[in-house]
Structure 1
Amino acid sequence: MLVLAVAVDAAASAGRIHPGVRVDGVAVGGKTVDEAAAAISRGATQVLGRTVVLKAGGEEWSITAQEVGGSVDATGLAQAAYRIGRSRNPLQAVKERLAAWFGAERLPLRVKLDDNAVSALFDAIDGSVGKPAKDSTVEVVGTSVRLVPAQDGTGIDRDRARRAIAEALASDERAVELALVPIPPAIQDEQAQVAYEAAKKAVSAPLTVRYEKSSWTLDPATIAEWLAFRASESSGSADPMLECYLASEEVSRTLTPIVGSVGKVAKDASFKVSNGVVTIVPSEDGLALDADAFSKSALAALTGDGERVVDLPMRRVEPEITTEKAKAMGIKERISTYTTDYSPSNKPRVNNIHLLADALDGTLVPPGGVFSFNETIGPRTAEKGYQEANAIVNGKLVPQLGGGVCQVGTTIFNTVFFSGLPVVERHNHSLYISHYPKGRDATVSWGGPDFKFRNDTQHWILIATSYTSSTITISLYGTDPGYEVSYTTSDFFDLRDYPIKEVPDPTLPVGTRVIEEKGVKGRSVIVTRTVKKNGAEVRKDTFKSVYRPAEEVVRVGTKVVSSSPSTSTTLGP
């Protein structure tokens, strides 16, 4: 009869979980695996939504399942429930089905936790109530070497705490007491002994460094600055050992100046321009201390039983821009050039123009790169040699460090204008300046307006500058993209009268007017540039310049003179 009942039960529950099976408090008997998974997921959501309180060292932390990445594999639990009563062992299958009939087959709700989230939680708890263990180490002060003993720490038992939190999240018991246990250091005193002995020996006497016919003697105090310590896995031992080594950075910092006479700085390949022709100045390899190799050989000499002498290892240093790289840049011809002139009498302004030209000269713009005037030049400061010269600030001509920068900005704008390259950013001056090309001036200011252009060619572009006492020339070199540039300039429009400011002058007779600063009318102008290649239009740019009126300042006489008939006189500057 029992066998018959089991057979009937098996037939009735085909494809479904055996009746009576539960997952925690969720009845899943009679359900398919998918139906059971959905029911388990709903039940788990309610359970996991509750708070668990952790207690350790007299402090408490309230957490939720979400904060520790708690999740339930509902499908896995449903599949486990489905396997109950379906064992390949017939007796075991019968036993499980009978147990299910009487409600004895109940699977626990297993909660999985996220490793990173749990570790972060445990770190926070240990940081609050625990005490970190301290590894044994070696302390070097001057040439004195001391072994610093290890110290035990305290912290929570992380494996037990993890299991307890997972169980609490799935149960009605929502409080977990976390026990603090001793935490041993990773490196005990005996594991630091070898490093301690090595450090003592390293600073026990000077070290001689040789290179060809030269030699240098380094005292123990210098050697002590190189010593550093780290944990390392020792062969044949599962425990980490403290290792004494020479820090390459410290070796390089202190040794390079001492042996600098035998080194050589690498020189990048550069470009030389003369009469519109560009040539490459070859690169030169450098010679520098191989700090890593020196550290290894020096440590062996310092801690061994042989002679405390080491040969200085040098390595070849390749420049960033080699001759081969320079050749591959495609800088072979002049693309465009432009010259503007200025008065040689204003010495501070001429000085600034020359400094700016020098700072620009040799600038390289990669394919697809954007050149920025301000980023390339940087702040114009007295430390760099800039002097005060007139510049337009808030619509007025006033002395300013770096005055003359707009002469250079206007020149490079026109160079780019006639190259056909895309102009990314350009600003006109606030006031009209007649000695610049009509509608083709460009103002720049640190922290303010900038001039930018994009290199849309497939090769690098070189910016080259030259100057005299009264002219500046800026040229672009690269591989000519074949752009054909034409442009039109409109008549001035939107003309606006300038305001007149009268300033009383007690030194001038009544009726006398002297123009101190000549006014300039406000105006607007549009320059349209068309760029073609092989007859097809590549781009059309519109550069609109709006200039505000420049105030005219007139000194008006207020001095009363003799009773002779007065006359009105206006004098120009």
Structure 2
Amino acid sequence: MKKKFNIIVVILLLFIICSVYGIYCYERRHSDDVLGGVYIGQVYVGGLFREEAEEKVKKYVEENLNNTVTLYYSDKIWDLNPKEIINVKLEKAIDEAISEGKSGNFILRFFNRLKLSRIPKKIDLAAEIKVDPFKAIIERISKDIARKPQNARFKIVDDIVMIEKEIEGIQVDTENLKQKILDAIWSQEKKIQVPVITIKPEVTSEALMKMNIKVEMASFSTKFDKTQVGRSTNIKLAAKKLDGYIIPPGEVFSFNDAVGERSSKEGYKEAPIFFNNEVISGIGGGVCQLSSTLYNLALITDLEIVERSNHSLPVNYVPLGRDATVNYGLIDLKFKNNTGGYLLLHAEVKEDTLTVKFYGSKKNDKKIKIVTEVVKKIPPPVTVKEDYSLEKGKIEIQEGRPGYQVKVWKIVSHNGTQEKKLLSIDTYNPTATIMFVGKKEPPAKTDPTKSKESAKTPADNHPPSEQPETVNQ
């Protein structure tokens, strides 16, 4: 019995040894091929050597990359050539397929082979989008369908306050589209609806309706010379910035913040400005007419003036003491909305007239009157200047203008009562009267006793206007 048992054990050991050796030999012969049950994408590569797997998968990739992918959104269509934007990492997939199940010793690899025969392994074909070609596609699509969100806004039509509804913005969802294109390469479906992201506007018509802005509260207009093209352009540009501006209750309005910097980059032109008691040319000239017009609107609406400065010289578009100069970053016009409700600012230019208006929830029941009192008239000083272009002994006078010191009062009538309040005390500088005194010497007389030849000396060869003593820079 014991002898029989030993024989069985020996036979069993021989069987195990032969089996293990057989497994070892098999695994050694097949160490360079792909284990059965392995797919790369939709391609079965089990049992293939590297070169065979590469050729089979490469053919599959080329067939798919040659199929046009169609992108669409609404009625817009764009055809896409995958070859131009897709980079497939074929080598990586082949390496992964070759190494699949081959970790550990030959016995473990054998059992991995058995496992893969029952549960196949699919290796994804790694693909990536080429940055620049994809960017060009996004730009092409965006040009056709993208739009910025538009806020709801108030619109004044024949002095009636209306609300234009907001419009949502649209932009291409680039990351989502990128993934859809990668998925479509290996799919039978080659049509992709372009995914988009909707952008909500900051201001909705519902929010505007809650502001309860419905009636005109006050209006003020000034005139300008529309033949001064640069100045007219500046007034229109700045007025456009203010039109539709909303001032919440209790908020301080800043002219410089609302209008922004006045620069050539923003489209502003050169026009006359005041500088050191003189009129010179500067970028943005004329914008002070808008700030002054707005200042008067704030006064007659009985708003609280927070910051305001008068010009150094009188202006001709508003009465003395009722102007407001501005200089971006230096001098501002500020007032506070103390009405208790929202204010809508409307600014428009028609022909030679600039008009600003406030709209709110109810009409102003106060009667506002602005009065200017001239406290003192300042005579212009006299300045003497020598003029070498004016004949000696002659005098020409350029009349200056007087300066003023003024007080501005606000008279408020309400419910049978009247209140008088001092708004400002302003000083406007005079411009000097200039007396030009002629210094030009008369031309030298020719001596008739001298011959014509002797008169032609180098010093006398120049015409009078070229003589050094007559040059005036």
The answer, yes or no, to whether TM exceeds 0.5 is yes
Report the equivalent of 1:525.
Answer: 406
Report the equivalent of 1:211.
Answer: 73
Q: Which of 370, 373, 376 is equivalent to 2:252?
A: 370
Given residue 255 of structure 1, which amino acid in structure 2 is its aligned partner?
I
Report the equivalent of 1:284.
Answer: 167
Q: Are the counterparts in 1 of residues 270 and 284 from structure 2 also a CA contact under 8 Å?
A: yes
Report the equivalent of 2:446.
Answer: none
- 1:35-82 per-residue CA deviation (whole Å, 9 max, x = no partner) reads xxxxxxxxxxxxxxxxxxxxxxxxxxxxxxxxxxxxxxxxxxxxxxxx
- C-alpha separation in 2, matches of 1:331 and 1:526: 35
The question of 1:555 aligning with 2:436 is answered: yes
Report the Cα offset of residue 212 of structure 1: 4.8
Task: Return closer, same or farther for 1:490/1:352 CA change in 2, 3 Å cut-off.
Answer: closer
Report the Cα offset of residue 418 of structure 1: 0.7
Q: Are the counterparts in 2 of residues 457 and 481 from structure 1 also a CA contact under 8 Å?
A: no
Report the Cα offset of residue 467 of structure 1: 1.9
Report the equivalent of 1:398.
Answer: 280
Q: Which of 144, 147, 150 is equivalent to 1:261?
A: 144
Q: Which of 333, 343, 350 is equivalent to 1:461?
A: 343
Stretch of structure 1 that moved more, 496-505 or 486-495: 486-495
- C-alpha separation in 1, matches of 2:226 and 2:169: 42
Report the equivalent of 1:381.
Answer: 263
Unaligned runs of 5+ in 2: 1-60, 88-125, 444-473
Q: Which of 141, 144, 154 is equivalent to 1:271?
A: 154
Q: Are the counterparts in 2 of residues 331 and 479 from structure 1 also a CA contact under 8 Å?
A: yes
- C-alpha separation in 1, matches of 2:203 and 2:419: 32
Q: Are the counterparts in 1 of residues 407 and 422 from structure 2 also a CA contact under 8 Å?
A: no
Q: Are the counterparts in 2 of residues 266 and 318 from structure 1 also a CA contact under 8 Å?
A: yes
Report the equivalent of 1:442.
Answer: 324
Report the Cα offset of residue 472 of structure 1: 0.9
Task: Return closer, same or farther for 1:513/1:286 CA change in 2, 3 Å cut-off.
Answer: same
Given residue 277 of structure 1, which amino acid in structure 2 is its aligned partner?
I
Report the Cα offset of residue 215 of structure 1: 3.5
Q: Are the counterparts in 1 of residues 222 and 317 from structure 2 also a CA contact under 8 Å?
A: no
Report the Cα offset of residue 525 of structure 1: 1.4
The question of 1:544 aligning with 2:406 is answered: no
- 1:413-445 per-residue CA deviation (whole Å, 9 max, x = no partner) reads 111111112222111001123542121011111
Q: Alignment partner of 2:236: what SS?
A: helix
Report the equivalent of 2:300.
Answer: 418
Report the equivalent of 2:450.
Answer: none
User: How do 1:72-471 residues align onto structure 2 when only pairs under 5 Å count?
Assistant: 205=65, 208-212=70-74, 214-217=77-80, 219=82, 222=85, 255=138, 257-291=140-174, 293-294=176-177, 297-298=180-181, 300-301=183-184, 307=189, 309-471=191-353
Task: Return closer, same or farther for 1:431/1:209 CA change in 2, 3 Å cut-off.
Answer: same
Higher relative CO (CA 8 A, sep ≥ 6), structure 1 or 2? Answer: 2
Q: Alignment partner of 1:491: what SS?
A: strand
Task: Return closer, same or farther for 1:297/1:540 CA change in 2, 3 Å cut-off.
Answer: farther
Task: Return closer, same or farther for 1:211/1:348 CA change in 2, 3 Å cut-off.
Answer: closer
Q: Alignment partner of 2:144: what SS?
A: helix
Given residue 470 of structure 1, which amino acid in structure 2 is its aligned partner?
D
Task: Return closer, same or farther for 1:448/1:311 CA change in 2, 3 Å cut-off.
Answer: same
Given residue 553 of structure 1, which amino acid in structure 2 is its aligned partner?
I
Task: Return closer, same or farther for 1:550/1:255 CA change in 2, 3 Å cut-off.
Answer: same
Task: Return closer, same or farther for 1:464/1:442 CA change in 2, 3 Å cut-off.
Answer: same
Given residue 353 of structure 1, which amino acid in structure 2 is its aligned partner?
I
Q: Are the counterparts in 2 of residues 247 and 295 from structure 1 also a CA contact under 8 Å?
A: no
Q: Which has the larger radius of gyration?
A: 2
- C-alpha separation in 2, matches of 1:245 and 1:289: 19
Report the Cα offset of residue 263 of structure 1: 4.3
Task: Return closer, same or farther for 1:400/1:245 CA change in 2, 3 Å cut-off.
Answer: same
Report the Cα offset of residue 340 of structure 1: 0.8
Given residue 436 of structure 2, which amino acid in structure 1 is its aligned partner?
R
- C-alpha separation in 2, matches of 1:306 and 1:261: 27
- 1:345-380 per-residue CA deviation (whole Å, 9 max, x = no partner) reads 423222222222223222222333322222222222
- C-alpha separation in 1, matches of 2:259 and 2:177: 40
Q: Are the counterparts in 2 of residues 391 and 404 from structure 1 also a CA contact under 8 Å?
A: yes
Report the Cα offset of residue 253 of structure 1: 8.8
Q: Are the counterparts in 1 of residues 170 and 196 from structure 2 also a CA contact under 8 Å?
A: yes
Q: Alignment partner of 1:354: what SS?
A: helix
Report the Cα offset of residue 391 of structure 1: 0.7
Q: Are the counterparts in 1 of residues 86 and 128 from structure 2 also a CA contact under 8 Å?
A: no
Task: Return closer, same or farther for 1:215/1:505 CA change in 2, 3 Å cut-off.
Answer: closer
- C-alpha separation in 2, matches of 1:260 and 1:561: 74
